[in-house]
Chain A
Amino acid sequence: AQKITQTQPGMFVQEKEAVTLDCTYDTSDPSYGLFWYKQPSSGEMIFLIYQGSYDQQNATEGRYSLNFQKARKSANLVISASQLGDSAMYFCAMRTKAAGNKLTFGGGTRVLVKP
């Protein structure tokens, strides 16, 4: 079975500061992909960043970076220089080769950026 755990239900962050969102995963499959999505109040899931299990380097996309620690089975998202528009729900998700192509999501973390 595969599982994603996000232990932070909500976080406040000051504008222009960095924030780290925690994600741990559980799978016995050596081949998997990890994703982060942002969901504003409008409801649409917006893809942010991807990390493959065999990737040697941590993924980065603009202000988003993924701190991938394979031995600890963690894939934390770091948002640098937070902006007011970053206020949203953030979901970590995983796809494994064994489980097919569906995504398994964590429970999400709500981020509120304060001016």
Chain B
Amino acid sequence: DTGVSQDPRHKITKRGQNVTFRCDPISEHNRLYWYRQTLGQGPEFLTYFQNEAQLEKSRLLSDRFSAERPKGSFSTLEIQRTEQGDSAMYLCASSLKGRQETQYFGPGTRLLVL
């Protein structure tokens, strides 16, 4: 049984560079979510997809952030012109639409912007 996977697990970049993260959901799951977690806080919602459609975006998702899920399978999250405030853990989760729908999380990508 393959869970949610994320790549890379860690990323160190310099301010102003672009970074891209990948998330592979559980294979039969049609919903995919991105969250951001800063140190000592709970995760905060960024965006979510149902199949390939991006259905909701948080106000936290500035113009420098873009997410895609081109074929309704894996998803990418790109941050352009990174800032030190972007340093955080980026968590991906997936779920299967249903009444007791549960989101299952990947291991996360830790981003450090120098």
The residues of B that contact A62 with a CB separation of less than 8 Å are none
Chain A nearest CB: distance from B32 CB in Å? Answer: 11
Interchain CB contact under 8 A, A44 and B105 = yes
Partner of B100, one of A33, A37, A104, A107: A33
Interchain CB contact under 8 A, B102 and A50 = yes
Interchain CB contact under 8 A, A44 and B107 = yes
Interchain CB contact under 8 A, B110 and A43 = yes
Interchain CB contact under 8 A, A100 and B56 = yes
Partner of A101, one of B41, B95, B105, B108: B95
Interchain CB contact under 8 A, B93 and A45 = yes
Interchain CB contact under 8 A, A45 and B56 = no
Interface SS of A by simple majority:
strand
Q: In the complex, A103 Cα to B43 Cα: how many Å? A: 9
Interchain CB contact under 8 A, B108 and A102 = no
Taking the complex as formed, is A47 at the interface, i.e. its CB lies under 8 A from any CB of chain B? yes
Q: In the complex, A44 Cα to B41 Cα: how many Å? A: 14
Q: How many residues of A are in contact with the other chain, CB < 8 A?
A: 24
Interface string of B75-114 (1 = CB under 8 A from A): 0000000000000010101010001111111111010000
The residues of A that contact B110 with a CB separation of less than 8 Å are 43
Within 8 A of B (CB), among A22-72: 33, 35, 37, 42-47, 50, 52
A-B contact pairs, 12 of them (CB 8 A): A35-B102, A44-B106, A45-B91, A52-B99, A91-B42, A93-B42, A95-B101, A100-B55, A101-B56, A102-B56, A105-B42, A107-B40
